[in-house]
Structure 1
Amino acid sequence: MSADRTPVTGPFRIHVDARPAGVGIDVSHYLTAVVLGLAQAADEDGHGLLDDLRYIAELARSAAHQGSDSHAAHERDERVADLLAEVADDGVIPVYGEQVARLRDRLAVLTAPRPVPGQREAGAA
């Protein structure tokens, strides 16, 4: 993998690619760790985890009907935050040292305005 494409190599790899309307930030390495954390939680207490996930799904359905400022939406968000705290370090992807600058530089390169091929100069016929 290109160092340009992968400005962050650890503890979780982050790949950044150009997209037609911006960039794509690939955090699949981090999401793999989240899934592994869920698998570990399921191994330790599968019924409890399944109950928690079902309750979050129920809250999400209620929030969809009641609105984003409903009690269900707030409780759903709290439950999800609790689960993320348990299995995914609160959902935060750490980026350290020089990798911060490489990520910034990669994003700057990919978001810099580029000329459109075949575009004419002003006044050219």
Structure 2
Amino acid sequence: MSTDRTPVDGPFRIHVDATPTGATLDVTHYLTTVLLSLAAAAEEDGEGLLAELVEVAGLARSAQAQGRDSHAAHERDERVAALLAEVADEGLIPVYGPAVGRLADRLREIAAPRPVPSQREAGAA
């Protein structure tokens, strides 16, 4: 089994680890970039950004109470999409060239059936 937990090394690193029931995708590098973009937007117009985030939070509460197909839910989704477009390249993480194959290989490797250790093998008495 490969131990390469970083099949994607750029433009944003993606780490992939096996869990007992599946996998985790660590996109911390991408999220750091998003937070830095938010910080830059706050530095440029902190009051405007805060007001927008507060409005989105209010819409999210309303959408939760009113349901997925409510006006509040649609408005929340539009506002979130606009913010993502502004600070996070619409929330898309690009993966290029050979990294696409490495990511697929790593996920296939993790998805392959693994033997479940018996209790005695796992350290039980």
Aligned to 1:50: 50
Deviation (angstroms), 1:117: 2.9
Deviation (angstroms), 1:3: 7.0
Q: For residues 117 and 63 of structure 1, what CA distance do their matches in structure 2 show?
A: 45
- The answer as to 2:71 corresponding to 1:71 is yes
Pairwise CA RMSD: 1.5
Where does structure 1 differ by over 6 angstroms across 4 or more consecutive aligned residues?
Answer: none
TM-score by length of 2: 0.90
Secondary structure of the 1:30 match is helix
Which residue identity is paired with 1:7? P
Residues 1-125 of structure 1: pairs in structure 2 closer than 5 A: 4-118=4-118
Unaligned stretches of 5+ residues in structure 1? 119-125
Q: Deviations over 1:38-71 (max 9, x none)?
A: 0010011001000000000000010010001110
Which residue identity is paired with 1:91? G
Unaligned stretches of 5+ residues in structure 2? 119-125
Q: For residues 12 and 35 of structure 1, what CA distance do their matches in structure 2 show?
A: 14
Secondary structure of the 2:4 match is coil
Secondary structure of the 1:103 match is helix
TM-score by length of 1: 0.90
Deviation (angstroms), 1:86: 0.2
Q: For residues 26 and 115 of structure 1, what CA distance do their matches in structure 2 show?
A: 25
Paired residues in the alignment total 118
Q: For residues 29 and 73 of structure 1, what CA distance do their matches in structure 2 show?
A: 29
